[in-house]
C-alpha cells in the first residue's frame, strides 16, 4: 500500500513518454514496471493527480495542459537550421508562445527571441535543437 507514491511517479513518467488512451492501457503499462493494480485504483490515481483526458483522447498531466493548449492552438510550424529552432505561430502570438515555452521545463534551450509570429530559439547544438523540435511537436496533439 505504500506503492501509491511510487506508482504516481511512474504514471507521471508514462503519460509524458507515450500516448495513453485508456485506463486499461495505463494498468498494463504499470504492470510491466512492477506496479500491479486494478482500473479502479487508476481511476482514483487519475483523480488524485488531476490528470486530464484531452479532447483528443489522451491523458496528460495537469501542469502540462496549459502548455499543450498554447502549442496546439498557436504554433503553426517548427523548423530547424543547425542549432537554431524557428517556431512559426499565429499572428501576434509569438510572445505568448515563447513565454509558455520558457515557463515549461524543457531544459534544452539557451534563449529565445520572439517577434510577432516567429520565435527564434537557440539550442546548444543541433542534436538538442532536434530534441526540442520533437518535444514541441509531441505537444501538438490534434
Partner DNA sequence: CAGTATAACGCATAATTATAGAAAATATAT
Partner DNA sequence: ATATATTTTCTATAATTATGCGTTATACTG
98, interface contact from a second copy, DNA, none, CB < 5-8 Å by kind: a second copy
Lay out the site mask for a second copy across 78-117 (x = CB under 8 A, - = otherwise): ------------xxxx-xx-xx--------------x-x-
CA nearest to 82, candidates 111, 118, 124: 124
Total residue length of the chain: 142
Sequence-separated (6 or more) residues with CB below 8 Å from residue 87:
75, 77, 78, 94, 97, 101, 118, 119, 121, 136
The span from the CA of 41 to the CA of 89, in Å, is 40
**124 belongs to the binding site for DNA (CB under 7 A):** no
Q: Which of 69, 88, 128, 138 binds a second copy (CB under 8 A)?
A: 69
Torsion of CA 64, 124, 10, 24, to 10 degrees: 60
Instruction: Give the footprint of a second copy on residues 34-63 (CB under 8 A).
Output: 52-55
Q: Strand, coil or helix: what is 42?
A: helix
Give residues in contact with DNA (CB under 7 A). Answer: 1-4, 7, 21-24, 36-41, 43-47, 53
Give the interface with a second copy as residue ranges (CB under 8 A). 52-55, 65-66, 69-70, 72-74, 90-93, 95-96, 98-99, 114, 116
Amino acid at each position: 500500500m505504500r506503492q501509491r507514491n511510487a506508482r504516481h511517479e511512474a504514471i507521471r513518467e508514462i503519460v509524458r513518454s507515450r500516448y495513453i488512451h485508456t485506463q486499461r492501457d495505463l494498468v498494463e503499462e504499470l504492470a510491466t514496471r512492477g506496479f500491479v493494480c486494478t482500473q479502479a485504483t487508476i481511476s482514483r490515481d487519475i483523480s488524485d493527480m488531476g490528470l486530464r483526458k484531452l479532447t483528443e483522447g489522451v491523458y496528460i498531466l495537469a501542469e502540462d495542459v496549459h502548455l499543450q493548449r498554447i502549442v496546439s492552438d498557436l504554433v503553426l510550424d517548427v523548423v530547424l537550421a543547425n542549432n537554431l529552432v524557428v517556431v512559426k505561430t499565429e499572428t501576434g502570438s509569438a510572445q505568448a508562445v515563447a513565454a509558455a515555452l520558457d515557463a515549461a521545463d524543457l531544459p534544452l534551450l539557451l534563449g529565445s527571441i520572439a517577434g510577432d509570429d516567429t520565435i527564434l530559439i537557440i539550442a546548444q547544438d543541433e542534436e538538442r535543437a532536434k530534441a526540442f523540435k520533437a518535444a514541441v511537436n509531441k505537444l501538438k496533439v490534434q
